Amino acid sequence: MNEEFIGALKEIVKEKGISEDLIFTTLEDALVAAYKKNYANSTTAAQNVRVSMNRETGEIHVYAQKSIVDFVYDEVSEISIDEAKEIDPRYEIDDVVEIEVTPRNFGRVAAQLAKQVVIQRIKEAERNIIYNEFIQKEFDIITGTIIRKDKGNVFVDLGRIEAILGPNEQMAGEEYNFNEKLKLYIVEVKNTSKGAQVLVSRTHPGLVKRLFELEVPEIFEGIVEIKSIAREAGSRTKIAVNTTDESVDPMGACVGPKGARVQNIVNELKNEKIDIIKWSKLPEEYIANALSPAKVLDVAIDEDNKSAKVVVDDNQLSLAIGKEGQNVRLAAKLTGWKIDIKSKSQAE
């Protein structure tokens, strides 16, 4: 262990962003284990030892730790009070004396061991750094680059780690091409034995929420609030918005000048349709808004069953229900109410 080695070690520590104290403490602990394994088999070598490593020169010292007693029964772990006071008169019974027992060839053993320990600790520390970095981004949006596909999974480069876009998190009909950049929602970050594992999604409603926060300053600043989102990824999303500031139009803020804000989100989601509706604390009004673009004539609600009967003009029925029931299904999901739709003639 020489100064060159210590210099190189400190450089690695700095480059990897690892605690210098952590590396040296780990090395000292490993050297204690090495001493016990290689030198503490005999009756003369101490089992209780401490290793000290100079942080600048790499110089190593091994100290046997002995308890001070009146009568010595075990010379390996005990020392008499008289002998202890010859070392330092201030010692008392039950104090611990440290006596240097550094073996002659211990530096060579230390150098071999240090290399293994440092490599292992750096790998562990890097894994922890990456995990801590991404756990803070859980439930947030991130941009990644597609690098490969395997067994239905799409692997995305996030810079320091690869993320996994599983089959259930992929938008129907969306193609994932090599080197393509796309925005993803981090649904989970796991700390596994092989390091951090990041799972991402293109189907999660949180992706739409975060995209609106990025595009609409009023949402980011808290002036406009997203109350609810219902999504069928790749096809249609309904988003309910509200504001406490009467001078702000929440729907207009989300649409943006000439529809630019919402269009940017639609483009990112590969032309997924987005209905922006005004939230209301009145269930009848909220349900009627949620069925947009259909025009609603009447809403009768049943509070006990949390269900609603909706009446629309005959020519609005198919629009209210939507293709394969999608519009009413999303409206029900958005509002949390069961919705039964009838045309005016059916209701009469």
pLDDT tens by residue, 203-252: 999 999 999 999 999 999 999 999 999 999 999 999 999 998 999 999 99
pLDDT of residue 42: 53
Q: Flag whether pLDDT at 200 surpasses 80.
A: yes
- Mean pLDDT in the chain? 91
Q: Check pLDDT > 70 for residue 190.
A: yes
The answer, yes or no, to whether residue 90 has pLDDT greater than 90, is yes
Which pLDDT value is given to residue 264?
A: 96
Q: What is the pTM of this model?
A: 0.74
The confidence score (pLDDT) of residue 46 equals 62
Please give the structure tokens belonging to residue 203: 């189907």
Q: Per residue in 46-87, pLDDT tens?
A: 678 899 888 888 888 999 899 999 999 988 889 999 999 999
- Ramachandran angles phi, psi of 85, nearest 5°: -70, -25
Per-residue model confidence (pLDDT) at position 76? 83
- Dist CA 342 CA 347 (whole Å): 6
Q: Are strands 78-80 and 96-100 parallel, antiparallel or unpaired?
A: unpaired
Q: Is the pLDDT of residue 160 over 90?
A: no
Please report the pLDDT score of residue 1 as a whole number.
57
Token output for 200: 């991402």
Tell me: pLDDT of 289 over 90. Answer: yes
CA dihedral 141, 145, 150, 153 (to 10 degrees): 10
Of 14, 32, 243, 252, nearest in space to 122 by CA = 14
Asked whether 85 and 27 are in contact (CB, 8 A), the reply is no
Q: Is the pLDDT of residue 2 over 80?
A: no
E strand or H helix that includes residue 289: helix 283-290
Q: What is the DSSP string of 196-260?
A: EEEEEESS-HHHHHHHHHHH-HHHHTTSEEEEEEEEETTTEEEEEEEES-TTS-HHHHHH-GGGH
Residue 130 and residue 160 in contact, taking contact as beta carbons nearer than 8 Å = yes
Over residues 108-131, mean pLDDT = 80
Question: With 70 as the cut, is the pLDDT of residue 44 above it?
Answer: no
Q: What is the pLDDT of residue 199?
A: 97
Domains of the chain: 3-134 (3.30.1480.10), 137-201 (2.40.50.140), 205-278 (3.30.300.20), 280-348 (3.30.300.20)
Q: What is the pLDDT of residue 286?
A: 98
